[in-house]
């Protein structure tokens, strides 16, 4: 079974926690990010979005990643970022505006356990994102956001003594509380509890995990044989879908598309939105400002919904053989909402949207246990932690 390890975190001084931590996903417009970087010298986006400091190509990390390294050095020298003096586990709790709560432990896991599939994965990754993160680790030598790992079962943290570090609210309405467990006896007791967990599954952060492994493999002169994770019970996870946005190279009119899709789907026009899909093997199609309902005719192969989309629509209809790299396809997080999705289609940024019901985490576990992978962006899983709240230094 995989082991978890305490570590000495680099983290913001409590006086700067609001200024340093940054949203890790679901960003607003690029212009808003640029303005944040210009106005806030403390934002951890100076690391994760350092390419916005450079006018050249995103494909030239050697040009902009030095900005990330300079940020880390400057923030440490000025006392904005401080280093813990003792190995600790970090207890983290996130509360949404609706009262939903996620809680677990930020720790390290062994890259070797990931390599040996003791840390189980379920999703394909994009090569360009993988290589970018490897280069960031090499240059800035930090990881500011943990991989989200889930386990089946429960684990209570009430009995462990904790020293409070932060309690703050972020602009998106979430409340964040962080404390550390540093007493050696408490660490040992918690480590023993972790050892009772049979398997750990990557819920979010496949690129961070894969890039940490590649970084370890390619750069041996750093202490980089472990990488940061946030471990929670799977019944706490909130799972939403990623919807697919498509702009085919060859234009296709609505009637021709529907005729082609009708080979494998029963299709009816819908006067109501199909942004929220309730039943499995059912999908939404948005095109020319109209919604259609699609129902898969036969699922003899027992495919998950994201696999049906990948096989029958992405590949068979549009000829997109690799959705990790093809520029014809993009992914719309459910949390961004229907209005934004429709605007992207109505304004001809993309031509077609395909919506679907999210996977259950039991499906994710089954795929992982069978050593299989799902298409990229198969699940949008919360909690999303803020970047720069707890930082691992290599």
Percent of the chain past pLDDT 70, that is, above it, reads 97
Burial class (CB in 10 A: 0-12, 13-18, 19+), 233: middle
CATH number of domain containing 323: 3.30.1760
pLDDT value of position 51: 78
Asked if the structure places residue 155 within a domain, the reply is: yes
Closest by CA position to 280, among listed 304, 300, 310: 304
Could you tell me how many residues make up the chain? 394
Q: Are residues 230 and 281 in the same domain?
A: no
Asked if the structure places residue 364 within a domain, the reply is: no
Tokens of 291: 């919604």
Number of domains, the chain: 2
Q: Are residues 133 and 99 in the same domain?
A: yes
| DSSP state letters, 154-167 | ----TTS--EEEEE
What does the alpha-carbon distance between residue 64 and residue 67 come to, in Å, rounded to a whole number? 6
Asked if the structure places residue 9 within a domain, the reply is: yes
For residues 385-391, average pLDDT: 96
Could you tell me whether strands 200-204 and 119-120 are parallel, antiparallel, or unpaired per DSSP bridges? parallel
pLDDT value of position 49: 87
For residues 75-79, average pLDDT: 97
Q: Are residues 274 and 168 in the same domain?
A: no
Q: Are residues 124 and 228 in the same domain?
A: yes
pLDDT value of position 221: 75
pLDDT in tens, 19-34: 999 988 766 677 777 7
Closest by CA position to 227, among listed 121, 158, 307, 146: 146
Name the phi and psi angles at 221, rounded to 5.
-90, 10
For residues 276-287, average pLDDT: 97
Quote the mean pLDDT of the chain.
Answer: 92
**How many Å is the maximal CA-CA distance in the chain?**
68
SS3 assignment, position 367: helix
Give the list of residues 6+ apart from residue 24 with CB closer than 8 angstroms, or none: 48, 145, 384, 385, 386, 387
CA atoms within 13 A on the CB side of 371: 5
Judge if pTM exceeds 0.75.
Answer: yes
CATH number of domain containing 184: 3.90.1530.10
What does the alpha-carbon distance between residue 367 and residue 280 come to, in Å, rounded to a whole number? 17
pLDDT value of position 137: 92
Q: Are residues 214 and 321 in the same domain?
A: no
CA atoms within 13 A on the CB side of 350: 22
Give the list of residues 6+ apart from residue 95 with CB closer than 8 angstroms, or none: 101, 174, 175, 177
Q: Is residue 129 pLDDT above 80, yes or no?
A: yes
| DSSP state letters, 8-68 | --EEE-GGGHHHH-B--SS---HHHHHHHHHH-TT-THHHHTGGGG-SS-TT-HHHHHHHH
Q: Are residues 225 and 275 in the same domain?
A: no
pLDDT in tens, 144-156: 999 999 999 888 8
Q: Are residues 32 and 65 in the same domain?
A: yes
Q: Are residues 188 and 156 in the same domain?
A: yes
Asked if the structure places residue 367 within a domain, the reply is: no
Residue 46 belongs to domain spanning: 4-239+381-393
CA–centroid distance for 340 within its chain: 20
pLDDT tier at 59, thresholds 50, 70, 90: low
pLDDT in tens, 327-386: 999 999 999 999 999 999 999 999 999 999 998 999 989 999 998 889 989 999 999 999
Q: Are residues 246 and 218 in the same domain?
A: no
**Cβ-based neighbour number of residue 264 at 10 Å:** 18
pLDDT in tens, 220-238: 777 789 999 999 999 999 9
pLDDT in tens, 292-338: 999 999 887 889 999 999 999 999 999 999 998 899 999 999 999 99
pLDDT in tens, 156-189: 888 899 999 999 999 889 999 999 999 999 999 9
Q: Are residues 142 and 202 in the same domain?
A: yes
């Amino acid at each position: 079974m995989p082991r978890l390890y305490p570590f000495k975190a680099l983290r913001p001084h409590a006086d700067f926690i609001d200024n340093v931590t940054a949203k890790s996903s679901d960003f607003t417009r690029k212009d808003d990010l640029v303005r944040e970087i210009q106005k806030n010298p403390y934002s951890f986006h100076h690391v994760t979005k350092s390419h916005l400091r450079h006018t050249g190509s995103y494909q030239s990390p050697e040009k902009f990643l030095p900005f990330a390294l300079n940020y880390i050095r400057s923030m440490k020298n000025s006392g904005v970022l401080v280093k813990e003096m003792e190995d600790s586990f970090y207890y983290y709790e996130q509360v949404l505006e609706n009262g939903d709560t996620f809680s677990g432990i930020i720790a390290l896991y062994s890259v070797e356990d990931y390599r040996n599939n003791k840390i189980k994965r379920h999703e394909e990754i994009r090569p360009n994102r993988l290589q970018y993160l490897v280069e960031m680790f090499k240059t800035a030598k930090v990881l500011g956001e943990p991989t989200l790992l889930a386990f089946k079962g429960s684990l209570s943290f009430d009995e462990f003594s904790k020293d409070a570090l932060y309690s703050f609210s972020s602009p998106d309405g979430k409340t964040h509380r962080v404390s550390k467990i540093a007493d050696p006896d408490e660490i040992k007791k918690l480590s023993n509890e972790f050892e009772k967990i049979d398997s750990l599954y990557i819920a979010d952060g496949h690129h961070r995990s894969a890039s940490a492994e590649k970084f370890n493999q390619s750069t041996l002169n750093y202490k980089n044989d472990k990488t940061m994770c946030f471990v929670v019970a799977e019944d706490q996870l909130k799972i939403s879908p990623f919807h697919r946005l498509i702009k085919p190279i060859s234009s296709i009119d609505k009637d021709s598309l529907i005729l082609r899709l009708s080979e494998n789907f029963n299709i009816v026009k819908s006067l109501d939105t199909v942004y929220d899909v309730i039943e499995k093997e059912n999908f939404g199609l948005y095109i020319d400002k109209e919604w259609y309902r699609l129902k898969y005719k036969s699922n003899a192969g027992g495919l998950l919904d994201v696999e049906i989309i990948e096989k029958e629509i992405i590949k068979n209809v549009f000829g997109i053989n690799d959705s990790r790299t093809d520029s014809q396809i993009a992914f719309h997080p459910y949390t961004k909402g229907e209005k934004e999705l429709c605007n992207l289609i109505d304004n001809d940024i993309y031509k077609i949207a395909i919506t679907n019901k999210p996977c259950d985490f039991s499906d994710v576990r089954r795929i992982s246990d069978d050593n299989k992978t799902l298409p990229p962006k198969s699940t949008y899983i919360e909690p999303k932690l803020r970047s720069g709240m707890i930082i691992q230094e290599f």
